[in-house]
């Protein structure tokens, strides 16, 4: 081997450890660390999805509860409406029930009076007495039901309650006084049903 070959071989031997050292110094990413990071991201995403699912389920439950309340409230309102309508219909249909029941004794008295008037021993006085009793019973029945007669004889004329049929001179009464009632009026609980038809006095001519 000549001197040049020996020198080339020596240089080759000296460079090999350096090259090996350089190659050994190269570091590659750790695959385990990457996997742990990926798992952490996945766990965080999974946790977020679970939170969203829980919030969504809670919101759906709240909406369902409110909807059930609305349905129950609507059903209750409808039941109340039907009940009120039924009560109104019954009130219109049976409003005079109590009044009719109170009139039945008067009807019975009239029937008995007519039967008594047909007897051979009936007298005018007995018939008149029976009619008066029946009339008094009828007036009492009206008063019990809030109906009162308007009999303004001797009272000042009131256009709210009386209807003047004619004017008549009278020296015994002050002007504008009811001197005769041709037909009695009636009020129901202070509300006029029918005005009394009356004759009203006026000033005597020449006075």
The DSSP call for residue 204 is P
Q: What's the pLDDT at 120? A: 84
Q: What is the largest CA-CA distance in the chain?
A: 186
Measured CA to CA, the distance from residue 147 to residue 54 in angstroms comes to: 72
Cβ neighbours around 152 below 10 Å, total:
19
Q: Encode 111-127 in three state secondary structure.
A: HHHHHHHCCCCCCHHHH
Q: What are phi and psi of 174, to 5 degrees?
A: -70, 155
- Angle formed by the axes of helices 124-144 and 97-117, nearest 10°: 180
pLDDT value at 37 more than 90 = no
Q: Is residue 108 part of a domain?
A: yes
**Whole-prediction pTM:** 0.55
Residues 201 and 156 occupy one common structural domain? yes
Measured CA to CA, the distance from residue 179 to residue 45 in angstroms comes to: 105
Residues 81 and 137 occupy one common structural domain? yes
Residues 101 and 88 occupy one common structural domain? yes
Q: Is residue 54 part of a domain?
A: no
Q: Is residue 197 part of a domain?
A: yes
Q: Could you tell me the end-to-end alpha-carbon distance of the chain, in angstroms, rounded to an integer? A: 183
Residues 140 and 157 occupy one common structural domain? no
Cβ neighbours around 177 below 10 Å, total:
19
Q: What total number of domains does the chain contain?
A: 2
Residues 154 and 199 occupy one common structural domain? yes
Asked if 187 contacts 194 with a C-beta cutoff of 8 angstroms, the reply is no
Domain residues for 199?
146-207
Residues 135 and 198 occupy one common structural domain? no
Q: What is the CATH number of the domain that holds 207?
A: 2.30.22.10
Residues 136 and 164 occupy one common structural domain? no
Q: Is residue 128 part of a domain?
A: yes
Measured CA to CA, the distance from residue 189 to residue 23 in angstroms comes to: 120
The DSSP call for residue 172 is S
Of the candidates 128, 145, 162, which is a domain's last residue? 145
Residues 121 and 158 occupy one common structural domain? no
Residues 106 and 136 occupy one common structural domain? yes
With tokens 């051979």, the residue in question is 120
Question: Could you read off the pLDDT of 162-183 as tens digits, one per residue?
Answer: 999 999 998 889 999 999 999 9
Q: Is residue 57 part of a domain?
A: no
Residues 179 and 153 occupy one common structural domain? yes
Question: Could you read off the pLDDT of 187-200 as tens digits, one per residue?
Answer: 999 999 999 999 99
Measured CA to CA, the distance from residue 176 to residue 167 in angstroms comes to: 9
Of the candidates 118, 145, 172, which is a domain's last residue? 145
Residues 133 and 95 occupy one common structural domain? yes
Question: Could you read off the pLDDT of 105-121 as tens digits, one per residue?
Answer: 999 999 999 998 888 88
Asked if 168 contacts 179 with a C-beta cutoff of 8 angstroms, the reply is yes
Question: Could you read off the pLDDT of 70-100 as tens digits, one per residue?
Answer: 999 999 999 999 999 999 988 888 888 888 9
Q: Is residue 199 part of a domain?
A: yes
Q: Is residue 44 part of a domain?
A: no
Residues 141 and 76 occupy one common structural domain? yes
Closest to 127 in 3D by CA, of 117, 142, 112, 118: 117
Residue 147, Cβ density class (10 Å: 0-12 exposed, 13-18 middle, ≥19 buried): middle
Q: What are phi and psi of 183, to 5 degrees?
A: -155, 125
């Amino acid at each position: 081997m000549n001197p040049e070959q020996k020198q080339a071989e020596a240089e080759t031997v000296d460079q090999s450890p350096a090259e090996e050292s350089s190659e050994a110094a190269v570091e590659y990413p750790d695959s385990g660390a990457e996997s742990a990071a990926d798992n952490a991201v996945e766990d965080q995403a999974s946790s977020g999805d679970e939170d969203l699912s829980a919030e969504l389920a809670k919101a759906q439950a709240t909406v369902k509860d409110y909807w059930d309340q609305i349905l129950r409230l609507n059903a209750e309102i409808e039941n109340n409406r039907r009940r009120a309508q039924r009560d109104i219909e019954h009130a219109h249909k049976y409003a005079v029930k109590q009044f009719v029941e109170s009139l039945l004794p008067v009807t019975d008295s009239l029937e008995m009076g007519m039967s008594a008037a047909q007897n051979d021993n009936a007298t005018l006085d007995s018939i008149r007495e029976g009619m008066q009793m029946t009339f008094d019973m009828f007036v009492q029945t009206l008063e019990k039901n809030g109906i009162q007669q308007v009999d303004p004889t001797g009272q000042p004329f009131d256009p709210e309650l009386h209807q003047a049929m004619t004017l008549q001179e009278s020296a015994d009464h002050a002007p504008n006084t009811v001197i005769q009632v041709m037909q009695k009026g009636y009020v129901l609980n202070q509300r006029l049903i029918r005005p009394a038809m009356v004759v009203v006095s006026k000033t005597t001519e020449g006075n």
